């Protein structure tokens, strides 16, 4: 006897608002099901001036305004990975708006590596406990009526996650826009082969799937853009369009990575982001300090 199929509840379409930060080329997203609904904030930016060591919250405040204007309730503040190009505003947004700060469960690996590199205080935990939640591959993520899924997409870092809500996927640093290609894979724990596999996994989603980039570095004066589709990426991505083999990609990625300088903010960004965005403990004079390892990175 066959059972009557249960009609699946229609999922509301994920509405997505992107906020581009021209200082770090980063896109912060708010994903929700409409005004008054729950929302998730993805990859928020804390403004940081490396010349003065000063932080500002202009970028984060734009997100706060958007959330308040649309009457959204923040359920999650999601990091796709421990970013090397900006500091996260997760703790600030949590204080302003609430929500749980979450990142992929492999962050522990990144914490171990950088605890060593920065010679952090002995009590610095490398179990991810600075975050409210650690997310695992395949885990369901509920944002009000939206049901999301966590996708483990390592390669750029060993801990990268993408977040899928219906037909909208926040790809983190895996793919960039088709005319830019892919993220670098030469940071500690990065792996071009793993990145290729992660990209193929994303590009196996239905062709009309909307893909939201974490960054845009527009070439040749084209306007900033951060939304594309699986079909567009498969057809036109300069590094990983259909037909590019793993060996070809790894060779290209490795060659290109050898030419790239470290991101301007990698040293401040990583040591703050592995603390879920908190500054290091204040010293006796009440000031927090960031470290610069000499000849170590």
Residues in touch with Fe ion (CB under 5 A): 83, 173
Per DSSP, the residues of 24-89 read TTEEEEEEESSTTSEEEEES-EEEEETTTTEEE-HHHHHHHHHHHHTT-EEEEEE-SS--SSSEE-
Cα→Cα distances 151→148, 230, 261, Å: 10, 15, 29
**Shortest reach from residue 187's CB to Fe ion, in Å:** 8
**Shortest reach from residue 70's CB to Fe ion, in Å:** 28
Rank residues 21 and 173 by Cβ distance to Fe ion and give the closer one: 173
Rank residues 32 and 81 by Cβ distance to Fe ion and give the closer one: 81
Residue 159: closest CA among 79, 221, 218, 41 = 79
**Shortest reach from residue 17's CB to Fe ion, in Å:** 21
Rank residues 72 and 175 by Cβ distance to Fe ion and give the closer one: 175
User: Is 160 within 8 Å of 83 (Cβ atoms)?
Assistant: no
Rank residues 26 and 75 by Cβ distance to Fe ion and give the closer one: 26
DSSP strands (E only) in 182-268 = 210-213, 227-229
User: Is 202 within 8 Å of 230 (Cβ atoms)?
Assistant: yes
**Shortest reach from residue 152's CB to Fe ion, in Å:** 15
**Shortest reach from residue 160's CB to Fe ion, in Å:** 8
Cα→Cα distances 5→9, 11, 146, 147, 256, Å: 12, 17, 22, 20, 51
Rank residues 38 and 152 by Cβ distance to Fe ion and give the closer one: 152
**Shortest reach from residue 49's CB to Fe ion, in Å:** 20
Task: Return the residue matching tokens 């066959």.
Answer: 2
For 209, the token pair is: 């799937």
CA distance 216 to 187: 19
Task: Return the residue matching tokens 């896109």.
Answer: 27
Rank residues 79 and 173 by Cβ distance to Fe ion and give the closer one: 173
**Shortest reach from residue 184's CB to Fe ion, in Å:** 8
Rank residues 195 and 230 by Cβ distance to Fe ion and give the closer one: 195
In the complex, which residue's CB is closest to Fe ion?
173
């Amino acid at each position: 006897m066959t059972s009557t199929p249960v009609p699946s509840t229609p999922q509301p379409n994920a509405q997505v608002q992107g906020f581009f930060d021209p200082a770090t080329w980063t896109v912060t997203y708010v994903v929700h099901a409409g005004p008054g609904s729950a929302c998730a904030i993805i990859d928020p930016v804390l403004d940081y001036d490396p010349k003065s060591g000063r932080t500002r919250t202009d970028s984060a405040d734009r997100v706060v305004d958007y959330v308040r204007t649309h009457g959204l309730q923040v359920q999650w503040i999601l990091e796709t990975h421990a970013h090397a190009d900006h500091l996260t505003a997760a703790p600030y947004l949590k204080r302003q708006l609430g929500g749980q700060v979450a990142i992929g469960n492999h962050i522990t690996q990144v914490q171990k590596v950088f605890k060593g590199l920065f010679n952090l205080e002995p009590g610095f935990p490398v179990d991810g406990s600075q975050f409210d939640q650690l997310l695992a591959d395949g885990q369901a993520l509920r944002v009000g009526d939206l049901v999301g899924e966590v996708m483990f997409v390592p390669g750029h870092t060993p801990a990268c996650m993408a977040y899928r809500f219906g037909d909208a996927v926040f790809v983190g640093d895996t793919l960039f826009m088709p005319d830019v290609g892919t993220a670098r894979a030469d940071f500690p724990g990065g792996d071009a082969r793993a990145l290729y596999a992660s990209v193929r996994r994303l590009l196996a989603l239905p062709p009309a799937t909307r893909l939201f980039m974490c960054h845009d570095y527009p070439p040749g004066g084209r306007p900033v853009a951060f939304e594309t589709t699986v079909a567009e990426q498969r057809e036109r991505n300069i590094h990983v369009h259909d037909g590019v083999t793993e060996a070809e990609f790894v060779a290209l990625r490795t060659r290109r990575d050898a030419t790239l300088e470290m991101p301007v903010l990698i040293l401040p960004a990583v040591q703050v982001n592995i603390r879920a965005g908190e500054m290091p403990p204040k010293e006796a004079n009440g000031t927090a300090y960031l470290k610069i390892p000499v000849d170590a990175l």
